Amino acid sequence: MLLKDQSATIDVNMWSVRFNKIRTKTRDICAPLSYEDHVVQPTQEVSPPKWHLGHTTWFFEEFILKAHFPDYRLFNKNFSFVFNSYYETVGERIDRVHRGNITRPGVEEVLQYRDYVDAHIQELLDISEKSESIENLLELGLQHEQQHQELLYYDLKYILGHNPLFPEYLPKEQQNNTTQIPALGFIDIPGGLYRIGFEGAGFSFDNELGRHQVYVHDFQIMDRLVTNGEYFQFIEDGGYTRFTHWLADGWDWVNAQEIKAPLYWKKIDGIWNAYHLKGGMRPLNPAAPVTHLSHYEAYAYARWAGNRLPTEQEWEIAHQVISPEISKHTNLLGRQALEPMPKTGDNIQLIGDVWEWTGSAYLPYPYYKAPEGALGEYNGKFMSNQMVLRGGSFVTPEDHIRPTYRNFFQPELRWAFTGFRLARHI
Amino acid sequence: MLLKDQSATIDVNMWSVRFNKIRTKTRDICAPLSYEDHVVQPTQEVSPPKWHLGHTTWFFEEFILKAHFPDYRLFNKNFSFVFNSYYETVGERIDRVHRGNITRPGVEEVLQYRDYVDAHIQELLDISEKSESIENLLELGLQHEQQHQELLYYDLKYILGHNPLFPEYLPKEQQNNTTQIPALGFIDIPGGLYRIGFEGAGFSFDNELGRHQVYVHDFQIMDRLVTNGEYFQFIEDGGYTRFTHWLADGWDWVNAQEIKAPLYWKKIDGIWNAYHLKGGMRPLNPAAPVTHLSHYEAYAYARWAGNRLPTEQEWEIAHQVISPEISKHTNLLGRQALEPMPKTGDNIQLIGDVWEWTGSAYLPYPYYKAPEGALGEYNGKFMSNQMVLRGGSFVTPEDHIRPTYRNFFQPELRWAFTGFRLARHI
Amino acid sequence: MLLKDQSATIDVNMWSVRFNKIRTKTRDICAPLSYEDHVVQPTQEVSPPKWHLGHTTWFFEEFILKAHFPDYRLFNKNFSFVFNSYYETVGERIDRVHRGNITRPGVEEVLQYRDYVDAHIQELLDISEKSESIENLLELGLQHEQQHQELLYYDLKYILGHNPLFPEYLPKEQQNNTTQIPALGFIDIPGGLYRIGFEGAGFSFDNELGRHQVYVHDFQIMDRLVTNGEYFQFIEDGGYTRFTHWLADGWDWVNAQEIKAPLYWKKIDGIWNAYHLKGGMRPLNPAAPVTHLSHYEAYAYARWAGNRLPTEQEWEIAHQVISPEISKHTNLLGRQALEPMPKTGDNIQLIGDVWEWTGSAYLPYPYYKAPEGALGEYNGKFMSNQMVLRGGSFVTPEDHIRPTYRNFFQPELRWAFTGFRLARHI
Amino acid sequence: MLLKDQSATIDVNMWSVRFNKIRTKTRDICAPLSYEDHVVQPTQEVSPPKWHLGHTTWFFEEFILKAHFPDYRLFNKNFSFVFNSYYETVGERIDRVHRGNITRPGVEEVLQYRDYVDAHIQELLDISEKSESIENLLELGLQHEQQHQELLYYDLKYILGHNPLFPEYLPKEQQNNTTQIPALGFIDIPGGLYRIGFEGAGFSFDNELGRHQVYVHDFQIMDRLVTNGEYFQFIEDGGYTRFTHWLADGWDWVNAQEIKAPLYWKKIDGIWNAYHLKGGMRPLNPAAPVTHLSHYEAYAYARWAGNRLPTEQEWEIAHQVISPEISKHTNLLGRQALEPMPKTGDNIQLIGDVWEWTGSAYLPYPYYKAPEGALGEYNGKFMSNQMVLRGGSFVTPEDHIRPTYRNFFQPELRWAFTGFRLARHI
């Protein structure tokens, strides 16, 4: 990551507070889980929660303590094999698909590992003079941990939501949500030359760096996300059974996987339900944004509706035009509820509900250059066969919600909190 | 199972004692495991220990309590879906390959399930007058539980032995074992008409029933099992790299799976070690019987050595001829050590060390007829593409060691405690 | 093969006549095919007809001309790579699954290869003094060629019968066949000690050698094969949808492959048709023996009918008991029609209609020993995971129809002319 | 296709001449092939030459004769099943992977089919007044046929080049080619707003339509293609064994497929050879452009060389800037030789050597809209998981070489004549 020199303004105490807050948050997310829930990997894209707890800790150990402090003694020399994710530079590691077979170290031992590494990092934080490179690595470690906090929500939802007993993660609170699908508008965005990408103080990932000019043509973009109720009409209209809406790869996927609805939807006694983190299996709210669908499904819906998905450039420009002042106004309601919530007012918001599929492939910006060494493997090597998502979700840490942030997944993946809005040329 | 009327002689108290002893034993096997160890399924033939705990309990609930006691209230109506193994008659069940993704019910809840069902069965045991069919089902449930006790050892060894940390199941005690490969002899067995198969009092499975005549030709059989040291010579002589020793299917398997040694063998710093339940990874003892190999490997070794595997008929006849008086003399040393142990004396023994691959496919005996209903699925439907093993292993419950017992596995499977001896015509 | 010294009685001229007759027959089988039909391999077990033409020729070149005549000059040194089947001893060869991609050498060049090799073999035949080993190899080469003649029929039927245009191999002649399902009887065979296996003059394969004693119990065996009409009742009774009839492996196969009827059956406008070599797609004759089914289907039918398949020992013994005088009385009607034909009289016949699945796994007879060298790969290495078939079919060369002949296939294969009869203990 | 009204200027005779010329060319390409060569499909992306002959004919029959002439009688009603490629709108069709199993209709019958359809189209061409829609369909049919002419070269090279005998397609003529790797330069292209995409008279595909503005930053692009000799250095430097150069998907592909060099390269006695259409297996010329590599390999080379691939926008703009006058100056030398030929002069040329991988994913241009009906499946539905190639190859029909043409393949495909040049920001 080419980190800006933002850390100079953060004093010793602030580092310590922030470090502890973020590290504690990870444990808190896992708190409602049983030991057993921490172990499994029911599908390839899911990692066991225990692995997240260990891997984020290994990241601090490997890239800070081991790399920069010769006297540091590893907690366990075998843990690098267990907790390395995909850094070829760092050496051998367990196959991703076997993560769910590793019962030792157990949850308790992993938590001890966290304590051990945290204590050593704390010593480092207590030193007032830290090199810029250490501060950059600390920052990256925290950003990395926050990315895994979000993945933890995806993964634990998958684990619990595919259990035949459908256990809830947390109980559902009383809520009086509207079920009225909100009115739909399209906003005009004038074409022209814009500048997109990250610049300035604060953290960003390497893939969003390089503020650069792009030209777009006039377009319109929806002022809200597509809802469950609207998506339901697509299903009712035979959306999953008519090839004309689909990309060829998407059609193959629908047929091979026998896809008939978004992930977690289940028709029970004739009524569409969905599994929710709070309250488990519950009836769908037609007014809430649709979520847990693949890029293929978003594309097919858009084509069925006579529109298309916005490009990532259009999305970022729309954000600049519409809501310069609300760029970080995230959806607090969804955060509490751990699910996308219906909009009741007329505030236009592009950010913080669910990750929005764009029509853009994940590719480097002009002048992009991956960093040297292991951290160069962070983003650049994934720039093929994936699609960009923008905006962030209600489980995205707030520091990760910024208009230039580029998330990316293979087009068939659905376990993230994904959704979409439509765009069109006029 | 066509159970003999053996149970009439067992009084109420004996049933109760035996039931509790066997049910307790299952828990005891799992006692050294962590919660996390109970959940996973690292390969298809392994089941999670938690699943064994639940499945053996479900067997009593489904076939006795639910089937025969209309007032019985299920502990949890969803458990049949989770804990049914392969009984199509009984209804839907989780795919075998997904057993390892099921984190709920957790270990504690499964133990409560055991308590609940045991308490109800106990009520039944306390009644002095039980129908014969109930007694037969109780007997079958206990035999079934004992089969799963053995599987538990296979499965937990696989789970721990494939963990990159190689944790031990139990610590190794001090032992002064010989490492001298014992002398090898072949015993002459005269050809002729013999009777094999089970008859008489006591329990047997349906597949061994039907005492019937068979004719065999004169043959010789080894007076002990093939050892690690002998098998090592086969490896050193290029055993895994020369097709001439192998069945065509075996050769394909060796190449596709890149097999180079028995399961759990690992060369460390030039020395062959193996993972053991007691003491984890330790040097191989050349004098101990080789174990954890496939039928294909046993066949290839036999051919390399200019001999063959005995048929299951020959094995059972050899047992009759050699050791009528020691038919239940099992290897106590191996039982304590949880591994096959070298023989030091000159006692000939065919039973209780490791399961011995035979050259016989698993097929029905004359007059075989599968029972009606779900229990008819117990044995008969597996009579294709599997090979018979005889003799029992040091983790086989003693009630399961009898000369007529027919075990069976696909020829490529290695996670059981398998081994072999050679035979030949003269 | 351990060939008997039968050849001494065959004079030079007889060798020549027989050689030419058999070699010509192979070409004749291919005569109705187009060049294009000779090339393809639509499924793994099928080989391209062009490959059979070349492989049978290579067999004579490799094992006789090249091995025994130092001056012999290979037709093309690359052909061994193309036309070796599975002889690891002989060296590298094209993967079996890629045989259908090899367009060169073309049909014409392969026929030239046949001419070239035949001319060299002819020189050898003209010599009056041939060593016994050469005569044995000649005999084996001709037997081998005849085996491939039968495979040619299976393969060309598969190629034409899976073409969407369903072209016929030969036109259908007028026939007035009965469609009346013949009466069904079971014949009693007394139990006792019998001798089975090949001995005496004439050719046999190594796997049938070793006349040996076996003991069987009293049994009954059907006096004819199961018919299309009877099998149709099994289908109508939900045979393919009820697991109780099936071996577990068979049930998995039925579901994975979505099997609903024997191979080549196709319901057209509500009527069951089948693809036939003569006349292409035509209505099924209910009176004719059912064919093109797997061992799993034969097993399931037998179980549905309350019976079982005979063992191969029972089959051979039944043949001895019933029809010592008609052991070579093959079904001439079927040979003309290239399909199994209904029986009209009351003659009991076990041989020459379709290959009959038995309930026996393919395993070595007592004292079996594979020959040394490449020819030792002929039979022995396939003795796992296959089932024995007995009797021969209407496309089996007559020399290959003998009561001791052991054919074998994997239990799921259906492209051969397979059928079955039932047996039972009383 | 949104075809422009270009056809008004083509009189009756010109249509006829052009139609016959293009249709004849397709046959000419197949002329050196044997019947057997026409049938097979050795890998999924290859289609049998016979299928191309039939499919291009079916296209005229289905979309012109059948659709617009009610009296037209189909040559064979089953051919639509056999020769439809991927038009879901048109109905059932044979699975793409089974094309290579279809031996009937044979080559001769397919050529009769061509004659039959050509005769009917000729009647249509003789009419002076054709509707615009018919003319558009004729144009599309011819363009479509020319696309398949190029595919024919890819496919027949694959069929012959994977035959173990490595037969040549045509003999090699005498040539005195330089083997001196030409000097390498980078050309500066100034950043700014440009217009790309097709407009004006003449044919184009729907995916290149919509002349539109794009903004690019200053960049440099190589003045020639990367050569065999340069690529050889990448291999020698461990290019295929060091992950740092590769996209993650590319690295997985290299390892899973054990890729060690471009397709058709083969080291013989220590010297790199490659299979060529003319002359078969011959030594590589280091001065000729490297070809038959995947996008992953082009990407890895670029990264190894410290550069990157150009985007498709950059490529088209570079073409506009450098060579407005030579936009159709294709490589005549390569056309004769049927292989990419070394450049000897200093002429800069971007077009007509080999298809050049770009760094752009294949995605719709602004305002893109797929046509209605079956022809709407021509391009749009493939816009996922593929990368754009630009420029055309020496086997691309000249009408298909234009600077706006967008070719596209999955990033792992190598059977086309692919190559690449590098670009960089300064």
The pLDDT tens digits for C281-294 are 999 999 999 999 99
Contact assignment for C215 to B217 by CB distance below 8 Å: no
Q: Residue C62's pLDDT band (boundaries 50, 70, 90)?
A: very high
The pLDDT tens digits for A333-390 are 888 889 998 876 555 677 889 999 999 999 999 999 888 877 777 788 999 999 999 9
Q: What is the pLDDT of residue B348?
A: 64
Among B86, B248, B383, select the one facing C247 at the smallest CB separation.
B383
Contact assignment for D104 to C167 by CB distance below 8 Å: yes
Are the CB atoms for C359 and C384 separated by under 8 Å?
no
The pLDDT tens digits for A114-159 are 999 999 999 999 887 788 889 999 999 999 999 999 999 999 999 9
Question: Mean pLDDT throughout C57-65?
Answer: 96
Are the CB atoms for A123 and A368 separated by under 8 Å?
no
Contact assignment for B384 to C411 by CB distance below 8 Å: yes
Q: What is the pLDDT of residue A173?
A: 83
Å between A413 CA and nearest CA of chain D: 14
D330: tokens are 């294709």
Among B35, B41, B78, select the one facing A35 at the smallest CB separation.
B35
Contact assignment for B384 to C247 by CB distance below 8 Å: yes
Q: What is the pLDDT of residue A270?
A: 92
Whether the CB of B254 is below 8 Å from some CB of chain A: the reply is: no
Q: Residue C202's pLDDT band (boundaries 50, 70, 90)?
A: confident
The packing angle between helices C107-126 and C12-30, to 10°, is: 170
Contact assignment for A384 to D244 by CB distance below 8 Å: no
Contact assignment for D40 to C160 by CB distance below 8 Å: no
The pLDDT tens digits for A180-224 are 888 999 999 999 999 999 998 889 999 999 899 999 999 999 999
Among C212, C385, C425, select the one facing B217 at the smallest CB separation.
C212
Q: What is the pLDDT of residue A11?
A: 65
Q: What is the pLDDT of residue B92?
A: 77
Q: What is the pLDDT of residue B201?
A: 86
By mean pLDDT, which of A61-70, A84-93, A262-271 is the weakest?
A: A84-93
Chains contacting D (3+ CB pairs below 8 angstroms): A, C
Q: What is the pLDDT of residue A8?
A: 46
Question: Mean pLDDT throughout C210-215?
Answer: 95
Q: Which residue in chain A has the smallest CA separation from D217?
A: A366
Q: Which residue in chain C has the smallest CA separation from D81?
A: C164
Q: What residues of A are in contact with residue B83 (Cβ under 8 Å)?
A: none
Alpha-carbon gap, residue D386 to D411, rounded angstroms: 6
Whether the CB of B252 is below 8 Å from some CB of chain C: the reply is: no
Chain A, residues 150-169, CB within 8 A of chain B, namely 159-160, 162-165, 167
Whether the CB of A342 is below 8 Å from some CB of chain D: the reply is: no
Q: In the structure, do chain A and chain C come into contact, i.e. share 3 or more CB pairs under 8 Å?
A: no
Nearest CA to C320 out of C155, C197, C149 is that of: C197
Question: Mean pLDDT throughout A314-326?
Answer: 83
Chain D, residues 24-83, CB within 8 A of chain C, namely 34-42, 50, 78, 81-82
Helix%, strand%, coil% for chain D, nearest 5 = 40, 15, 45
ipTM of predicted complex: 0.94
Q: Residue A176's pLDDT band (boundaries 50, 70, 90)?
A: low
pLDDT per position in chain B (426 positions), as tens? 434 444 444 566 889 999 999 999 999 999 999 999 999 999 999 999 999 999 999 999 999 999 889 999 999 999 999 998 877 777 777 788 788 899 999 999 999 999 999 999 999 998 877 888 899 999 999 999 999 999 999 999 999 999 999 999 999 987 767 888 889 999 999 999 999 999 988 899 999 998 999 999 999 999 999 999 999 999 999 999 999 999 999 999 999 999 999 999 999 999 999 999 999 999 999 999 999 999 999 999 999 999 999 999 999 999 999 875 544 556 677 888 899 988 765 556 778 899 999 999 999 999 998 888 777 777 889 999 999 999 999 999 988 899 999 999 999 999 999 999 999 998
Question: Mean pLDDT throughout A396-402?
Answer: 88
Q: What residues of D are in contact with residue C100 (Cβ under 8 Å)?
A: 40, 100-101
Q: Residue A327's pLDDT band (boundaries 50, 70, 90)?
A: very low
Are the CB atoms for A275 and A351 separated by under 8 Å?
no
The pLDDT tens digits for C149-184 are 999 999 999 999 999 999 999 999 877 678 888 899
Å between C88 CA and nearest CA of chain D: 18
Contact residues for A401 (Cβ-Cβ < 8 A; gap 6+): A328, A330, A351, A352, A391, A392
Residue C212 burial (CB count, 10 A): 17
Q: What's the average pLDDT block by block, 10 residues per block, for chain D (426 residues)?
A: 46 87 98 98 95 97 93 95 84 80 96 98 86 91 96 98 96 81 92 95 91 97 96 97 95 96 95 96 95 98 97 96 62 84 70 95 94 78 96 91 95 98 94
Å between B244 CA and nearest CA of chain C: 8
Whether the CB of C103 is below 8 Å from some CB of chain D: the reply is: yes
Q: In the structure, do chain D and chain B come into contact, i.e. share 3 or more CB pairs under 8 Å?
A: no
Q: Residue A10's pLDDT band (boundaries 50, 70, 90)?
A: low
Q: What is the pLDDT of residue D176?
A: 67
Contact assignment for C40 to D40 by CB distance below 8 Å: yes
Are the CB atoms for C29 and C53 separated by under 8 Å?
no
Q: What is the pLDDT of residue B94?
A: 76
Residue A380 burial (CB count, 10 A): 17
Å between A383 CA and nearest CA of chain D: 7
Å between B103 CA and nearest CA of chain A: 5
Helix (H) or strand (E) holding D28: helix D12-30
Comparing A373 with C325, the larger pLDDT belongs to A373
Nearest CA to A136 out of A2, A27, A319 is that of: A2
What string of H, E and C letters represents the secondary structure of chain B?
Answer: CCCCCCHHHCCHHHHHHHHHHHHHHHHHHHCCCCCHHHCCCCCCCCCCHHHHHHHHHHHHHHHHHHHHCCCCCCCCCCHHHHHCCCCHHHCCCCCHHHHHHCCCCCHHHHHHHHHHHHHHHHHHHHCCCCCHHHHHHHHHHHHHHHHHHHHHHHHHHHHHHCCCCCCCCECCCCCCCCCCCCCCCEEEECCEEEEECECCCCCCCHHHECCEEEEECCEEEECCCCEHHHHHHHHHCCCCCCHHHCCHHHHHHHHHHCCCCCCCEEEECCEEEEEECECEEEECCCCCECCCCCHHHHHHHHHHCCCECCCHHHHHHHHHHHCHHHCCCCCHHHHHHCCCCCCCCCCCCCCCCCEEEEEEECCCCCCCCCCCCHHHHCCHHHCCCCEEEECCCCCCCHHHCCCCCCEEECCCCCCCCEECCCEECC
Whether the CB of C382 is below 8 Å from some CB of chain B: the reply is: yes
Select from D220, D241, D383, D385 the residue whose CB has the most chain A CBs within 10 Å, as the one to mutate to test that interface.
D385
Whether the CB of B109 is below 8 Å from some CB of chain C: the reply is: no
Question: Mean pLDDT throughout C395-416?
Answer: 94
Q: Is the pLDDT of residue C8 over 50?
A: no
Burial classification of residue B313, based on how many CB atoms lie within 10 Å of its CB (0-12 exposed, 13-18 middle, 19 or more buried): middle
Contact assignment for C165 to D82 by CB distance below 8 Å: yes
